[in-house]
Chain A
Amino acid sequence: MKSPRFWTVVLLLVVTALILHSRGDTDRVPASEPLSRMPETIGQWTGQDLPIGDDVLAVLGKGDFLNRVYTSSQPMNVSQTSDPVDANLPIGLFIGYFPTQRTGQSIHSPQNCLPGAGWTFDSHRYTTITDATGKSFRVGEYQISNGETRQFVIYWYQAHGRSIPNEYVARAYMVADAIRMDRTDGALVRVITQISPTETVADARGRAVRFTGLLAPMLPRFIPN
């Protein structure tokens, strides 16, 4: 019992225990509105909720989810080349908000789910988009296809006022924010629109980006900064 080595180790362990117990095991979860209160009308688009199956909810875990299709009431054509036939193609919006990720669940990546449903990623890149208020944010842009059907996808992870397209970076920020602020809340936002055979990819992208630009300033109400 006189060994300095033994007492050093005991001291280290006691200090560790004190450090660990000085902090509770619950997160600070800032108040936020439920996603169901997301405006029905965004710009020229009007939304309609799509139900999420129980089995899907079980895979998603504990959180608040919004799955909506927004359709445009007025025809729109951003392209100079094609006729405005498919101008009011719908835009799908999915948001999964997790108030806490402490229990080990993490936000599901579309990188897994989309191929799981038969989609292949044709191209992807990270880019910066400017929203309606002029604030810029980082997103991932993806073109996916399934047979003849093509879609344009914009998605990113939103947490504490930060937008991150990469799931690993998002995870690293979650760990850092958990240490700094004791918060592990975060969300995945996915905007998806069909690329019709008669339009260019730029048209579809323009539609998705415009919608995203209008949507982004509304997010802090539901996904606290």
Chain B
Amino acid sequence: MKYNVLRMTGSAQAESHSPELLANRQDSGSVRLESAGEPRRYGWLPYAIISALLVVIYYRIAGKLIYDWYTIPDYSHGFLVPLFAGYLIWDKRESLSATPVRPTWSGVSLIVFAIILLILGVYGVELFTTRMSFIFLMGGLIWTFFGGKMLRELRFPLLVLILAIPIPAIIFNHITFPLQLLASRIASDILPMLGVPVLQEGNVIQLPVMKLEVAEACSGIRSLMSLFALAIFYGYFLERTTSRRTILALASIPIAVAANVVRIVGTGLCVQYWDPDKALGFFHEFSGWVMFVISLCCLYLVHRVMELILPATGKKA
């Protein structure tokens, strides 16, 4: 039971480690108060050792992940996810400190599983597995040193971290690609009504004066993942029940399609009635933050409509 009363320094950890270890710190802090009678001089040492080992194991993987957040537009929300997870833990600090700490050997099984996943992932060059292993490993460490109850308390912040991990393209494309086609089809149904004749072939939309390739013909709806993550954050802060939060999260899918329709229609109108060259700039600009603002507004609208149809009954904590 010695390490229960230890404090964590947290100095050597990599960025993505912080939310979980933060929990450890808070928890152990509170436990320390209870047993403040006995002074422990090197209490921080075990935490430092484990943190250092995690850094040695994961620094390359974390580096590549952060690089991906930076470079892949679908995953720029990755930077927010650890902060959100950290907030979730901070928000739970009272129930966490009330949770009894019961170290157990059972947690080691999860650690071993995570390590196997990690080694296979690194050797097999499967980035997704490699990154997922970190979440399992954190779960295993919490389980081993703080007990199953603590792991259960911390499962949501841990699961939230999955949002920061890019889904393998081979699977992601299968989800987003049909949605992209759907958006193109709806947009090319709407455009003729607004006086813009179009010929649509898949993601390629032929306008009277130019061809609009819904550019990444192979990459589907880019912002879906960010929007999904954002809908989860939004739901967490503004709703109180899991079912209503789930509805909001799922609403991100039709919203992503709708936003894409707006983007294509908007560009089509620009080409027809304004300036094709400027329209292209608009098209690309639109794929960025403007799209996101539109999506957010849609999310807000969906939420308002939800309030109207299903008013929240009795605030549940």
Q: Which residue of A lies closest to B168 (CB)?
A: A106
- Residue numbers in B under 8 Å from A2 (CB-CB): 2
B119 touches A9 (CB 8 A): no
Within 8 A of B (CB), among A161-193: 167-168, 171, 174-176, 178-179, 184
Q: Which of A17, A59, A118, A184 contacts B125 (CB 8 A)?
A: A184
A1 touches B50 (CB 8 A): no
Within 8 A of B (CB), among A77-126: 101-102, 104-106, 108-109, 112-113, 115-119
B125 touches A168 (CB 8 A): no
B170 touches A55 (CB 8 A): no
Q: Which residue of A lies closest to B116 (CB)?
A: A16
A113 touches B50 (CB 8 A): no
Total A-B Cβ pairs within 8 A: 118
A20 to B126, CA, bound (A): 14
Q: Choose among B50, B53, B204 the residue with the greatest number of A CB atoms under 10 Å from its CB.
A: B53
B125 touches A101 (CB 8 A): yes
B50 touches A116 (CB 8 A): no
Interface string of A1-37 (1 = CB under 8 A from B): 1110110111011101101110101010000000000
Within 8 A of A (CB), among B1-27: 1-3
- Residue numbers in A under 8 Å from B181 (CB-CB): 115-116
A178 to B56, CA, bound (A): 22
B201 touches A59 (CB 8 A): no
Interface string of B99-125 (1 = CB under 8 A from A): 000010100100110010011101111
- Residue numbers in A under 8 Å from B112 (CB-CB): 12
With A113-B217, A167-B170, A179-B120 as known contacts, state yes or no: A13 contacts B125, CB within 8 Å. no
Of B41-49, B151-159, B255-263, B290-298, the stretch lying at the interface with chain A is: B41-49
Q: Given A5-B103, A104-B68, list of 12 further CB < 8 A pairs?
A: A1-B45, A2-B2, A9-B50, A9-B144, A12-B111, A12-B112, A16-B115, A16-B119, A17-B56, A117-B203, A118-B203, A174-B125
A27 to B166, CA, bound (A): 22
- Residue numbers in A under 8 Å from B194 (CB-CB): none
Q: A146 in the interface, Cβ–Cβ < 8 Å? A: yes
A148 CB → nearest B CB, Å: 12
Q: Choose among A27, A101, A116, A174 the residue with the greatest number of B CB atoms under 10 Å from its CB.
A: A116
A139 to B244, CA, bound (A): 47
